[in-house]
Amino acid sequence: MEFSSVARGCKSVIKCVGDIMGQCPTALRVPGGCNGACPVFKTDQYCCNSGNCGPTNYSMFFKDRCPNAYSYPKDDPTSTYTCPGGTNYKVVFCP
């Protein structure tokens, strides 16, 4: 998947070329996709409701395949992007 903004001041292109669907951990598989650990397990370890959390084996699955995507609560700042309101985006599912 490729996600890009047409506005200045935003990261130009964010790519995820990992095979998320094909390699999804069994516990996270849902019909037609791969869910995150928080909606599946609903625990503080995966949802970070207390604000005191770190990466897990499931978040690292996503981070390893999509390094510049925000993959867990409190992920590092290199994975957080902001763009001005009204920004237009282009999403390509099979780059």
pLDDT tens track for 40-62: 999 988 888 877 788 899 999 98
Q: What is the mean pLDDT of residues 3-13?
A: 75
Q: What is the pLDDT of residue 11?
A: 66
Q: Is residue 52 part of a domain?
A: yes
Q: Is residue 11 part of a domain?
A: no
Domain count, the chain: 1
Q: Is residue 36 part of a domain?
A: yes
Q: Is residue 54 part of a domain?
A: yes
Q: What is the pLDDT of residue 12?
A: 66
Give the tokens for residue 84: 């001005």
CA dist 23 → 8, 27, 64, 69 (Å): 35, 12, 12, 17
Cα of first residue to Cα of last residue in the chain, in angstroms, is 6
- Domain enclosing residue 52, as ranges: 19-82
Q: Is residue 7 part of a domain?
A: no
Q: Which residue has the higher pLDDT, 81 or 4?
A: 4
Assess whether pLDDT exceeds 90 at residue 70.
Answer: no
Assess whether pLDDT exceeds 80 at residue 13.
Answer: no
Q: Is residue 68 part of a domain?
A: yes
